Structure 1
Amino acid sequence: MAIFVHYLFIILISTVISVVSFLLHRSRRLRSLRLPPGNLGLPFIGETLQLISAYKTENPEPFIDERVKRYGSVFTTHIFGEPTVFSADPETNRFILQNEGRLFESSYPGSISNLLGKHSLLLMKGNLHKRMHSLTMSSVSYSIIKDQLLVDIDRLIRINLDSWTDRVLLMEEAKKITFELTIKQLMGIDPGEWSESLRKQYVLVIEGFFTIPLPLISITYRRAIKARRKVAEELGKIVRERREGYERGERKSDMLGGLLGHEGISNEEIVDFMVALLVAGYETTSTIMTLAVKFLTQTPLSLAQLKEEYEEIREKKSEWEALEWRDYKSMSFTHCVINETLRVANIISGVFRRTITDVNIKGYTIPKDWKVFASFRAVHLDHDHFEDARTFNPWRWQNVQGTSCSGNFYTPFGGGPRLCPGYELARVEISVFLHHLVTQFSWVPAEEDKLVFFPTTRTQKRYPINLQRRC
């Protein structure tokens, strides 16, 4: 027993010495580098609590503003358990996005990675990511949306709006719409009991994204893992059935059909891929729909101009005639509204990356394996880049060509090799939704509802509205 205790003591001392030596070596190395200025905050916790408390309010900007004023647009902080270089600088953000795979790689909290799956597009790297990203882009190209998807988008949105009562939780209804649209686009399945059951499991999965990724500690995470397993089982059944049909010569033109047509992609990889795309289609697009309505309601002049635009379109069509591609392209003010909603709301506030090697930026050195956060929100809401930047003003986009803004100041869909492949599809879905909502209903908020940004961008009460159908 004494010998065992002696050896245990030696192992303990050796471990402590190794840890201390490592920390001292790292400390000396960091001092030798020129890190961006900043504050690492409390041990282990860093500044995470300050960030979370700020983003749980309608005005999280002071967290960024105070640090930019003190340290500059590129600063060091410590959030979510890791030292992180935070960028509020458009040139630095572009540098980070464009050097994906060379200097930086995608990196997200363990809870998100585990729930999406190792084969999700968000986490793929290298050639596999390029291949799957290209496949996704081709599945939602202009021609595919125009010739195949638009008719279903118009039909499913009409069906959902026809079922509305005189009071709805708009964010919930929007999520139902976008989930059904994504299911249809991915697998060609119309809405029903199966899709609604799957959506309820997805809600539980998403709730686990920003929790401690330890099932024994977090009930929410444990529930999310269980729901994710059920989602994978249901999608796995569809994939197996479709693969068997594909091998018999049955071909379908949806995204799953395209995946099955590529050799070397396993069923497990397809399921992970679909899990992530369903999350993207369900969560982000529905939130933009809801917030566009909220902002329009708060600015009656913009809502009035949108009505005029839609009335011109309806005058040329019969009551139930579906929208066509030329109608979508003619919605010039709608595109301004969407651009401004994306800019002000910042559904994706930024992206996390990890350095593959020591990286020199703006005269500073970011060490290998450090996290960086390219903040889109900080740039979009900077008064130096947009006049009166924190006010919803869709007219600012009337003299801007397309959806871009010079100087790389506008990046709601990211950029570089990881540019969101479904950005045009999202814009079409939002446009069709707004068109039918505005032409079929008038509404008022049922009660005051605040906007918060953590763990995801949303309204606290899911934006309840009272509706009245137009004659």
Structure 2
Amino acid sequence: MWPIGLCIVTLVIIWVTNWIHRWRNPRCNGTLPPGTLGFPLIGETIQFFIPGHSLDLLPFFKKRVQRYGRLFRTSLVGRPVAVAADPEVNHFILQEEGKSVEMFYLDSIVKLFGKDGASTHATGHVHKYLRTLVMNNFGFESLRDKLLPKVEAVARKSLDTWSSQPSVELNYAISQVMFEFISMELFSYDPSASTESMSDAFINFLKGLVSIPLNIPGTTFHKCLKNQKKVMKMLREIVEERCASPERRHGDVLDYFLEEMKSKTFITKDFIVYIMFGLLFATFESIPTMFTLVFKLIMEHPLVWQELKDEHEAILRNSQTSNSTITWEDYKSMTFTFDVINEALRMGNISLGSFRRAVEDVRINGYTIPAGWIILVVPSALHMDPETYPDPLVFNPWRWKEDGGSKIRVKNFTPFGRGIRSCPGAELSKLVAATFIHAAVTKYRFTKIKGGRVVRNPMLKFKDGFYVKVSEMVTEGGGSAAEDA
């Protein structure tokens, strides 16, 4: 019996060794990008989720870019991945969608948005239809003609409310404010009419968005799924209620969908629920973190706060309106404000990156990315490149004035993606930040109470929150309105 048992053990060892060898040396009709796929199945997933505690590049990316270069291979949650951190490669990959690559979503995203959700399968004419819809409601013309005064009113009301409180956790506070604003535009959501808070459920859902997809009680992903189901249930109730009273109009996006459902076969109640959820995500996801980071950075840099104050007080002095509300011309004249926002976006790298899947072998820079591999386009590596951005960890809005920022903007600055999949909420995010800055620096004083430590895990978060005291200024002058306690 012993020789038979020894033979079985030997065969198992040979099979496992061969399996590991094939895992680490996958077939390729060319030369694979440098790197390693790590352990079978696990890959380098554990290393990927090791947090960074600064605004610097995620340690996982930084170490591998230094070791292998700007295009390398790895494996995450059992999938081989090519990571692209080069401006030319990134530009090429994003332009190849619909040709050699296709859109790809992480397993966790697919599960959270729903396997059959239109938000994760919007391709072809459906994607074009949805993008047109978003741009019509949150794009340039809508911001100019409809949303600017609404956002300004929200900014003034919010700051006034915050100033009456001992302190506010800035990230959570702006999350609540913007959720209510966007959900009102989408489906006239009234939080007072519900026994449960949709905003809290949605905000908690976002906290676990990029996590290991283990649906086990106690895990981040399990909590995320519970909050997703809660939000979806509430959205279904809203859609059903509106369908039961078709004669009542609200003037929101849901009205438009219900009307379109009469003539377009692909629009169903389930489709509308998924799209409402997806639109909430697309227009809301980046705003709270970006907003909090902008205010954290300008509070830590009094010279920046003062130049912003000078710019916005000049706008008030030159205002053509009797009530000093912002006009579109005022908004477009906030040049230093946009420099500040761009610099915060560059350093914050709110988005992890864009995922694509190679539908055929992709050859680039002498390497081959095999068909079926996932490609992760990482803009943060470009934003922290010292050759393009000297002293990249230094918050320096004035760098954007040099050469008009033309060198930076071409292919080296993509905070909201690029091409047909660029974030549809990008311009809304900037408008929100700019209008809050305008109201804040001209009328209020911000004092840090506690928190503000950043962590990347892998998305940017504020580990202990960021608590500030907002005080209305009684008199003019007196130096900077920012105090960092």
Task: Please give the range of the TM-score, normalised by the shorter of the 2 chains.
Answer: 0.7 to 0.9
1:389 to 392, 399, 403: 392
State the Cα distance separating 1:175 from its structure 2 match: 0.9
Paired residue for 2:35? 38
SS of the counterpart of 2:354? strand
State the Cα distance separating 1:169 from its structure 2 match: 0.9
With the length of structure 1 as denominator, give the TM-score of the two structures.
Answer: 0.87
Q: Relative to structure 2, which stretch is displaced further, 315-324 or 366-375? A: 315-324
With the length of structure 2 as denominator, give the TM-score of the two structures.
Answer: 0.85
| 2:83 aligned with 1:86 | yes
SS of the counterpart of 2:446? strand
Q: Deviations over 1:228-277 (max 9, x none)?
A: 2221121122223334554x3x5554322333343231121111112122
Q: Which amino acid is 1:307 matched to? A: K
State the Cα distance separating 1:371 from its structure 2 match: 1.2
2-structure distance, mates of 1:467, 1:382: 35
1-structure distance, mates of 2:49, 2:430: 29
CA RMSD, 1 decimal: 2.9
2-structure distance, mates of 1:220, 1:47: 19
2:431 to 414, 428, 431: 428
Q: Identity, % of aligned pairs?
A: 34
Superposition pairs of residues 147-166 of structure 1, within 5 angstroms: 147-164=145-162, 165-166=165-166
Residue correspondences, number: 455
Q: Which amino acid is 1:381 matched to? A: M
Q: Deviations over 1:358-412 (max 9, x none)?
A: 1111111111111111100000110122222221111122246589944411111
Runs of at least 5 residues in structure 2 that lack an aligned partner in the other structure: 1-11, 475-485
Paired residue for 2:277? 275
Runs of at least 5 residues in structure 1 that lack an aligned partner in the other structure: 1-14
1:145 to 143, 146, 149: 143
2:133 to 132, 135, 141: 135
| 2:198 aligned with 1:198 | yes
SS of the counterpart of 1:183? helix
Q: Which amino acid is 1:315 matched to? A: R
Q: Deviations over 1:14-65 (max 9, x none)?
A: x999999998878776255310011222333322222322435554454333
2-structure distance, mates of 1:182, 1:400: 36
2-structure distance, mates of 1:41, 1:23: 10
Q: Deviations over 1:325-379 (max 9, x none)?
A: 2221121111111111111101013112211121111111111111111100000
SS of the counterpart of 1:55? coil
Paired residue for 1:174? 174
SS of the counterpart of 2:445? strand
Q: Which amino acid is 1:149 matched to? A: L
2-structure distance, mates of 1:147, 1:71: 49
Cα 1:439–1:191 change in 2 (3 A) is farther
1:313 to 311, 315, 319: 315
2-structure distance, mates of 1:214, 1:344: 31
Q: Deviations over 1:59-112 (max 9, x none)?
A: 445433332232221011122332211111011111111111222222222222
Q: Relative to structure 2, which stretch is displaced further, 325-334 or 336-345? A: 325-334
| 2:444 aligned with 1:441 | yes
Superposition pairs of residues 246-257 of structure 1, within 5 angstroms: 246=246, 248=247, 250-257=248-255
State the Cα distance separating 1:154 from its structure 2 match: 1.5
Cα 1:355–1:218 change in 2 (3 A) is farther
Superposition pairs of residues 362-373 of structure 1, within 5 angstroms: 362-373=365-376
2-structure distance, mates of 1:429, 1:327: 14
Paired residue for 1:301? 303
